[in-house]
Structure 1
Amino acid sequence: MHTDSLERIAREMRCNVLSMIGEAGSGHPGGSLSCIDILTALYFGGVLKHNPTDPDMAERDRFILAKGHAAPALYATLSKAGYFPEEELKTLRKLGSRLQGHPDSSLVPGVEVSTGSLGQGLSISCGIACGLQLQNQPGYVFTLMGDGECEEGQVWEAAMFAAHRKLGNLVAIVDGNGLQIDGRVQDVCNPENICNKFAAFGWETCEVDGHDIGALIDTLSKIKAADTNSPHLVMAHTVKGKGVSFMEDEAGWHGKAPNAEQLKAALDELHTENEVTA
């Protein structure tokens, strides 16, 4: 698919993220918007092997959203890919809805694991990747973490385990937007250079512009083609609230829904951008 088409998909998903959070009156727009381009590259750029008509296909790749509070981004992606109707996005966080504030694997097709407790996603991904290897099964495991999440000690236990078990079928992507709920990551509990730390644990690492869909596809595709025995860490440099000027790089939009006026302004901005680039 041409990059322009992928960028259009990403903008549409950003609109869906904002609309569903606005409808719900709660949610996490900042970190959802920052990872949309990563999800676009994975699901629509030919990187992730998946099948919406057969979500449990044995030879599929797995995607684990470690930063489970960015569930709106995953829901927008899965609906766009055909796992469930886009109309269902309006039910986010509502009583009886499948689309809870954090993804539930028992309810939503395409959701591999229920996540939300930060720090646990990489460990879960290690277990799945290790299990696939033990069963001689194909498939890569991609997990998306937050840079603030890398303050969790369990992340580094998992990093040690993955290198020790030579989990070359594991790819961890860090949504490096530099912010968490309490402010800048470097001010809350500075993890320093995350790439260097993973490399010290025995991982192969690289950095990429997390909003350059073409570069993301190229980077992730090369990792799959390399077929090495080392786990892979991709530091994706992103902007929290990407796509909406008044939300960008603002920690205050970590977990706050836009009101009606703000939602209209955000959607107008995204629609204008779409018209200019179409």
Structure 2
Amino acid sequence: MIRYPIRRNVNLSTRILIVDDDTGIRSLVASFLEKHGFQVDAAGHPAEMRERLAQADYALIVLDVMMPGEDGLSALRELQRVGGPPVIMLSAVGTDIDRIVGLEIGAEDYLAKPCNPRELLARIRTVLRRTAHAPAAAGAVATPAPAATAGAGADAAVLYFAGWRIDLETRLLHDPQDQPVDLSDGEFRLLRALVQHPRRVLTRDQLVQYAMGAESDSYDRAIDVQVSRLRRKLASGEARADLIRTVRNEGYMFVPAVTRTRDA
């Protein structure tokens, strides 16, 4: 599987790729973001996006949905498969269904076009704040699970539940067969919030705060979408039990007991 290169000499905190077939929109968005301190490159279609990604790293991609030929949702699926940067989707089709589809595939956020450039800037800054301190997981080596101690304290390095293992430092999740399971940034943050508060009912507002931060502008439905995605991934292999329980009119509860170790 081809993965995009990582070049540490690039300032990832400020480099963004705009992918849109509309030249005017690309120019407008790029100009506005550059005035606010970002380095911006542009691509007119997904094939050009892939060329750009092969040449440089980006902190974030702003990706249009409606493009001739290959559309943005198809491009987003590929980015999720190969481990691309976080994505904010833009679309002239701004219905709830389209928004949910984009989030289910793996977008960090979704804006309807035309959008206010200042709103896009705020969303970009929010996503970058969430991902700024995420350590790279590439090349990490799984270690055997040491004996775990009771309790799931927030400062634990490695957490265990129902045969699964999640390393909070390397952001790696392994299933009961010790196979790695890919998680988007949003999925990792949500799972981390759940395993650090097991067997407690957490409201959607609490999950937004624990997973995204107090300043996040994420909404309840985004949590529902990410819970749905997490459930599918946690049902892989031989583990078929639903580990995340929906509590009607309340929120969600992480069902299994969680144990911990400080030694990654």
TM-score by length of 1: 0.33
User: Higher strand fraction: Structure 1 or Structure 2?
Assistant: 2
Identify which of structures 1 and 2 has the higher relative contact order when contacts are C-alpha pairs closer than 8 Å and 6+ apart: 1
TM-score by length of 2: 0.34
User: Higher helix fraction: Structure 1 or Structure 2?
Assistant: 1
